[in-house]
Amino acid sequence: MAAREPDAPPVGEELHLPSPSLMPVLNAAGVVLALLGLTLGRGLIVVGLLLFLVTLVLWIRDVSRDIDELPGDPH
């Protein structure tokens, strides 16, 4: 059997990890509030959906900024 080469980057190349963020947690909280609003009242639906949409936009903006800061051409 041939030895399989690892999927690691070349020596000296830095691994990119996303910065820590509360956006995924707040995004999930928005979904939970919206779903709770289905049984508890329309106010929670509105608050949950607003929280979900705002955190989604902020999360996408943060990720795209991280991608733009990567060295080299991503394509």
Residues 26-62 have pLDDT tens digits of 999 999 999 999 999 999 999 999 999 999 999 999 9
Q: Give the predicted TM-score (pTM) of the model.
A: 0.72
Q: Tokens 């190349």 belong to which residue?
A: 13
Residue 75 carries which DSSP code? Answer: -
Answer whether 46's CB lies under 8 Å from 37's CB: yes
Residue 19: is its pLDDT beyond 60?
Answer: yes
Q: What is the DSSP letter of 17?
A: -
Q: Are 46 and 65 in contact (CB under 8 A)?
A: no
Other beta carbons within 10 angstroms of residue 47's beta carbon come to 16
